[in-house]
Amino acid sequence: MLRVCRLTALLAVLLAGLTAALPATAQAQAAEDPVDRQAVERLIQKLDDPEARAELKAELQALIQAERAAEPEAEPQPQGLGGRLLAGVNARMGVVAEQLDSAAATAAAVPGAVAGLAAKASDPAVLRQWAEMLVRLVVTLAAGALASWIAARLLRRPRHALADRLAAGLGLRALYLLGRTLLDLVPIAAFAGVAYAVLPALGPGPGTRLVALTLVNAHVLVALVLVAARFLLVPHAPALRLVPLSDEGAHSLYRWARGFVQLAVYGFFLLEAALLLGLPAPAQGVLMKLLGLGLTVIAVRFVLRHRGEVAAVLRREPGESGERRRLPRVRVPQAVGMVRARLADVWHLLASLVVVALYLTWALEVPGGFAFLARALALTLLVVVGAQLAVRGGAALIVRLFRSTERFADRVPGLPQRAARYEGPVRRLITGVIAVLAVLAVLHAWGLGSLAWLTSDHGSALVANLVSIALIVAGTFVAWEVASILIERSLSRESETGASTRKQTLLPLVHNVVRIALTVIAAMIVLSQIGLDIGPLLAGAGVIGLAVGFGAQALVKDVITGGFLLMENALSVGDWIEAGGHAGEVERLTIRTVTLRDLAGTVHVLPFSDVTSVTNYNRGYGYALIDAGVAYRERTEEVVRLLHRVADELRNDPEWSPFILGELEVFGLNNLGDSAVEIRVRMKTRPLKQFAVKRAFLERMKRVFDENGVEIPFPHRTLYFGVEKDGSAPPVHVAQESPATA
């Protein structure tokens, strides 16, 4: 109520000061120069004469053509805000100078107006007129204020009840807040309805009606804006606040918004009313510009004062209360975090520049500039918000898509782990694409024509090439992963069955070959998409291949020999082989070399060109081959029976029975040696178990022979002295040395 009375008194004084200007304005409009009647009569006479009329027409057409020839060509209108602003400054400098001159003249006339106002104040009729006007204004505003106060008192309990509600859900809080906002609108409607109803009943004059309507409309507009501010900030009901702000922050923002809105709205309405009441237009324009300048300064100061708080929100830092904001479900990519950090450092400068640009565009009355700036700012805000939502939505979609691969983990082992390797790069790629599109959209919104360039021939070609390259790279990775999955599935299947190690040897080589082939093919296609001629590259690669083939024949031989050996399944990883004069277990195979480790642990790396033959002990099965040597006096049938007994013991032994695949095979008497008769037998075993089975067989054979008195002779040496023709042997003279005596 006090603020309304102050505004009423101020406007009444302004109205009283301007009443003196109204008669002067009317007199100035009436004091126009009289029209010259003789010139009009001469013009009528010329129009009646055909020849004079034709001559006058020709002169007018010549003047029109001369003016057209003297007119300069229209300069192209600038598209960007900077060009429009400069053009507006150039065009408005003269207008601004005229407004300043008029304002200076108005300021110079202020002392005279004050003197006239003082003179009128001494007139009882004028004082009575002013008193009646003030009474009508006070009655109108007081009636509206009383109705608003009564409505607020009646609704105070429901408002407090809604404000004290503790709603857990966001939707329920929004519903309570909407109900509280609707209750806040009731006192405003009561003020406006009663004021509009009381004012005609008082019978005011045109001036009083204009002042009253100005104050009522200004008050209603300010109240509505403040209701909207309370809906967003909710300074007095923290339980219903939807925006993540502290109580201190909400109160601070609301206080600033209330002062800013009151100054802007009341100032604008008062100046508009003063213009209608007789204030010269140049003076009103200067005052309006000064009002806008003051509001601009207030806005810039507010931005600079709260730059730290906004920067903390952009960086997602905790507030002074130590309460950390709830983290989002999807982690924001690092690139977005870096952009937000940079924006937090310079946001106050950008906001200040925007505020100043808005004021200059409005103050200089740039043609279409304010609309352009408002549209550019709105589009920028929409693009930034849309890009943020797109980044979050894309990240959530990617997370859900890659996590859906866990359902296929049973059918494709290792698929979730393989997909997880691409989750981060794909998310960063989508974030980068969205950021680039957002930057182009913002540049286009500010008149730089980036999207127009993209739709041109060059831009379309560039976009098509980038899309093609992206599809090629994506297809290469998909083909690589499909090949890897197939190879790994085959390897895992072979490992489970243990049927063959051939694939475990060949498939890693195929894996490397596929990787190299895909990389080369993709690189060639990408280079062709960029615009490079790959024909010389292919020709150069062919020449290099020929040079390498002639200069590295041993290497080529290694590769070719190794490839055939691997394809023919001559050896595999884990086999025990003899090759190149060495025997050992195959530890590693490449396209050029084979690595062996012998029984002593020595590693031998053999090029395939040195492998002329391969003896493999790991193919299908093996035989434990035993040559049992006995004395000449032993019966072979008895020895064979004892060998069968040894074989039966081995087959019945749980430790050795899994390695034996067949019965004992007896080949019979195989050799008549110098000191022993050799009987050859063998037993069929699993691959590479023949050596262990042979050692176990020999150990048991020695024990059985000892138990049954079968002699295993020592090596004998026979000395032969010859035989005479008659069959007699020459005597042997043996000399025996006697032991030495002391």
pLDDT digits (tens, 9 = 90+) for 277-323: 667 777 777 788 888 888 899 989 888 888 887 788 777 644 444 44
Structural domains in the chain, CATH included, are 1-28+123-305 (no CATH), 328-455 (no CATH), 561-616 (2.30.30.60), 622-707 (3.30.70.100)
Asked if 676 and 711 count as a contact pair (C-beta separation under 8 A), the reply is no
- The pLDDT tens digits for 346-389 are 888 888 888 888 888 777 776 667 677 778 878 888 888 888 78
Asked if 399 and 423 count as a contact pair (C-beta separation under 8 A), the reply is yes
Between 219 and 206, residue with greater pLDDT:
219
Looking at 241-245, 399-403, 467-471, 570-574, which range is the least confident one?
Answer: 241-245
Cβ-based neighbour number of residue 11 at 10 Å: 24
**CA-CA distance, 31 to 38, in Å (whole number)?**
21
Average confidence (pLDDT) over 559-569: 78
Query: How many Cα atoms occupy the beta-carbon half-sphere of 460 within 13 Å?
Result: 4
The pLDDT-based confidence of 1 (bands split at 50, 70, 90) is: very low
pLDDT at residue 80 tops 70: no
pLDDT for position 741: 57
The pLDDT-based confidence of 740 (bands split at 50, 70, 90) is: low
Q: What is the dihedral of CA 651, 653, 654, 660, to 10 degrees?
A: -30
According to the per-residue pLDDT averaged within each range, which of 15-19, 498-502, 735-739 is highest? 735-739
Q: How big is the chain, counted in residues?
A: 742
Which residue, among 195, 300, 299, 212, has the nearest Cα to 257 in the 3D structure? 299
According to the per-residue pLDDT averaged within each range, which of 73-82, 284-293, 503-512, 546-555 is highest? 284-293
| 3-class secondary-structure state, position 239 | helix
pLDDT for position 14: 46
pLDDT for position 109: 58
- The pLDDT tens digits for 707-725 are 999 988 887 777 777 777 7
- The pLDDT tens digits for 146-172 are 888 888 888 888 877 776 665 556 677
pTM of the model: 0.48
Asked if 574 and 586 count as a contact pair (C-beta separation under 8 A), the reply is yes
**CA-CA distance, 278 to 266, in Å (whole number)?**
18
- 445-476 as b/e, with b when 16 or more CB fall inside 10 Å? bbbeebeeeeeeeeeeeeeeeeeebeebeeeb
Mean pLDDT (the chain) is 75
> Which secondary structure element, helix H or strand E, spans residue 221, and what is its range?
helix 206-233
- 49-88 as b/e, with b when 16 or more CB fall inside 10 Å? eeeeeeeeeeeeeeeeeeeeeeeeeeeeeeeebeebbebb
pLDDT for position 38: 66
pLDDT at residue 680 tops 90: yes
Average confidence (pLDDT) over 405-423: 72
What percent of the chain stands above pLDDT 70?
A: 73
Looking at 78-92, 399-413, 488-502, which range is the least confident one?
Answer: 78-92
